[in-house]
Structures are given as structure tokens and as C-alpha cells.
Structure 1
Amino acid sequence: MTRARRVPPGRAGRLRLRRNLEVALRGADLLEQKLRILRGRQQSLQETEESARRAWLELLADAETWLLKGLVTSGEGALEASAVADRADVTIEWTTSMGVRHPSGVVWTPAARSLDETAPVNTALARAEAAYREAVRAAADYSAARTASRLVGAEAERTRQRTRALRRHWIPRLTEELAAADLALEQSEHEDLIRRRWAADVPARPTTP
């Protein structure tokens, strides 16, 4: 339930309502401008996300194909023997769009094979290893793009809801209250004018000697 706001009577109350309405209208205009920018940014991020997703899936499928060929050639033992103990390192880079902090990209360092670790025993496993490296990089790119798209999209939705609340509820309510205040003030001033006229028309009583 919305708590009734206290508005001073008379001109002071009308002035406050007028200022509140002007602020609400300016706020709605700014929010709509922000929403247009956010939606444009969201569309761009969604396109980047979809492109990154396709790239990741293609690289993953290629890596799995080479892995299967390598296992058929040399068996599962060859895969275990050529495993790399190191891990890839991924650092997320961040930026801000219209007040929304979101990933802008990744810095990726692949896992490195040490000198004492066994290299892949056949060409297919070597190709699979390289392909999986690229797939990991692509997965990091896709994850960053997806997160950025979701964050900007969430802010766009919040901005849309705030704009809608202003346009459909707050501004109409202020407009109605301002109209009522204008009418009340006009009636009050009219009544004051009539009382002054009556007072001016009443003859002064004679002074009794």
C-alpha cells in the first residue's frame, strides 16, 4: 500500500508538486535514453555471445574428433601418458557500460608441457591437444561474452521497469495531484475575492454619539 504523501496547502504545495513532476519527467526521459543505449549494447553483446558459442562448439567438436582418432590408434594409455600436469590460466578483463560492470574479454595462458612430460605418441593426439587448447580459450571467451550479455540485459530490464513505473504510475499521479491543487487554489482565490467584494460593499455602521 502506498503511503500518502504530505503536500503543503496552497501555493507552496502546488509549487512542490510542479517541481516533483518536472523531476519525474526529466528522470523518465533520461531513463529512456539510457534504456536505448543499453538495448543497443545488449544486442551487440548477444551477437558476440552467439559467435563465441559457435566458435567454442566447433573447436570442441574438432578436438573430440582428433582425440577419438588418437585413441583408436594408440589406446587410452597413450592419453594418460601424454597428459599435462599444468593448468591453463584465465584472467577476466572488465569494463563499464552505462554504469554496468561486465566482462570485456579474457587473457588466456595455455597449460605448458614441462620438459620431463611425455609428448603425444601420435599425430592425432598432438592435434587433439592443440585443438583442446583452442577450445578452452574459446570457452573462456564465450563465458565472458555470455556473462556480459546477461549483466547488461538485467540492467536494461531494471531500467525498463523504472521507466514504466514513472510513465504509468508516478507521473500520472503527480499530474492528477497538481491539477487538483490548481483547482483548489483557484477556488480558494475565487472565494477570497468574493469575500473581499462583500466586505467592500457592506456600508460602515454609523457611530453612536
Structure 2
Amino acid sequence: MSGRGGRIPAGRAGRLRLRRSLATALRGADLLERKLRLLLDRERVARRAAQEAGAVWRQRLAEADTWLVRGVLLGGESALAQAVPADRARVDVAWDALMGVRHPAAVSWTDPVRSSAEPTPPNTALAHAETAYRAAVRAAAEHAAHQAAADLLAAEADRTRQRVRALRRHWIPRLRGELAAVELALEEAEHEEAVRRRWAASRSGR
């Protein structure tokens, strides 16, 4: 049987090295499986939050579109141009890390501010549309952040799962096989040594 270097480590020192390597591999597999569970749990939370934010986003967007149509019908496209503030909204994303995976954790939203010199929406429908669109964009930002977090966590979970599979299916069985072979060789060597000693003792007795 071949080890990483092509030959099985011989003797008691080789057996000790294999036992240590096997213990390290088993401990590593356990830690990786714990990491995998944590990643999958956080991914599920992020997926659920993304679905909820996505539903809110679609609902708010439909409401905003409805109000926009009403507002344009009442005041025309010129009224729509007057209703848009010059200021821009701001979205800030707070980041977190889980088991070395950096991902979006929260979104803070700052509404655009209309200056006192700017005209307000010329009719109630456009005012409602503005409020609904702001809510829709806020929900869209939250949806995007949760979706990105879920995707990043899922990618790391896949990598961790592959590492666990490599340890459990390949590396650990190979170490166990090599250790069993070394222990068998040591047992046979010790048996042969005992036979030689008994033979030598019987000859010297005669």
C-alpha cells in the first residue's frame, strides 16, 4: 500500500506518525462538518430573508407603478418630471463574517431630500408613487443584500463539503489502511522475534 510519499512508514515511529495524522484528519473533518452546519444554517436564514424582501419589493413596485400611471394620467409627463427630486437616495451595506466568509449583513437606507426650492409632486397620485417607489427600492436593496449573503455562504458551504468528502472518503480511509498495514507488519516482526528468542533459548539450554 502506498502512502503520500509512495511507501508506508515502517516501525514504531511510522506507526506513531500515522496515528497522529489520522487523529488530525478526524479532528479536521469534525471541525469542517461543524463549519458546514453553521454555514448552511446562516444560508437558510439569508434565503428566507431574501424571499421575504423580494415579495415586499414586488408588492411595493406594483403599487408604485399603479400610482405612477394615475399621476401621469392626471398631470401628464411634465408633472412626472417636476416630481423627481435632485437629491439621490443612499444605500449603505454593513458586512459581517462567519467562519471566514465575509457577506452583507444589513442595509441602511437614506431617502433623497427635496430642497425647499424644489417643487413637490403636483398631484396626490404622484406623491403616493414617490413614497411607494422609495419603499420598493429599499426592499430591493435588502433583497439584493440577503441574496448576495446567501450565495456567498452557499459557495463556501460547497467548498467545505468537498473538503469533508475528501477527508472522509479518501484521506482518512487511506491513513487507516496504512496504519493497519504498519501494525500488522509490527505484529509479525514481534512474533518472529519472539520465535527467534525461544529458539535461541532452547539451543542454549541444550
Quick check: TM above 0.5? yes
Deviates more, 1:102-111 or 1:2-11: 2-11
Contact 1:7 1:16 in 2 (8 A): no
The unaligned stretches of length 5 or more in structure 1 are 205-209
Corresponding residue SS for 1:104: strand
Determine whether 1:111 maps to 2:112.
Answer: yes
Q: What per-residue deviation string (whole Å, max 9, x for no partner) do you get for residues 50-72 of structure 1?
A: 00110111111111111111111
Amino acid at match of 2:171: W
Q: 1:111 corresponds to which letter in structure 2?
A: P
Partner of 2:81: 80
Note if 1:165 corresponds to 2:160. no
Q: Check whether the contact 1:100–1:152 (CA below 8 A) recurs between aligned residues.
A: yes
- Report the equivalent of 2:40: 39
Which residue does 1:189 correspond to in 2? 190
The within-5 A match list for 1:85-96 is: 85-96=86-97
Shift of 1:81: 2.4
Please give the alpha-carbon distance, in whole angstroms, between the structure 2 residues aligned to 1:4 and 1:99: 29
Gaps of 5+ in 2: none
1:91-102 aligned at under 5 Å gives the runs 91-102=92-103
Partner of 1:4: 4
SS at match of 1:106: strand
Structure 1 vs Structure 2: percent identity of aligned residues? 56
* Contact 2:95–2:104 (8 Å) recurs in 1: yes
Number of residue pairs matched by the alignment: 203
24-33 vs 193-202, which deviates more?
A: 193-202
Query: Could you list the per-position Cα deviations for residues 148-200 of structure 1 after superposition, in whole angstroms to 9, with x for gaps in the alignment?
Result: 11111122222211111111111111111110011111112222222333333
Query: What code does the residue aligned with 1:185 have?
Result: L
User: Aligned letter for 2:140?
Assistant: A
3-state DSSP class of the match of 2:86?
A: coil
CA distance in structure 2 between the aligned counterparts of 1:188 and 1:165, rounded to whole angstroms: 33
Alpha-carbon distance in structure 1 between the residues aligned to 2:142 and 2:183 = 59
Partner residue, 1:61? 62
Other-structure match for 1:120: 121
The one-letter code of the counterpart of 1:120 is: P
* Partner-residue secondary structure (3-state), 2:186: helix
TM-score (norm 1): 0.90
Q: What corresponds to 1:153 in structure 2?
A: 154
Cross-structure match for 1:143: 144
Provide Cα deviations, 1:1-26, integer angstroms capped at 9, x if missing partner: x9833653200001111111111111
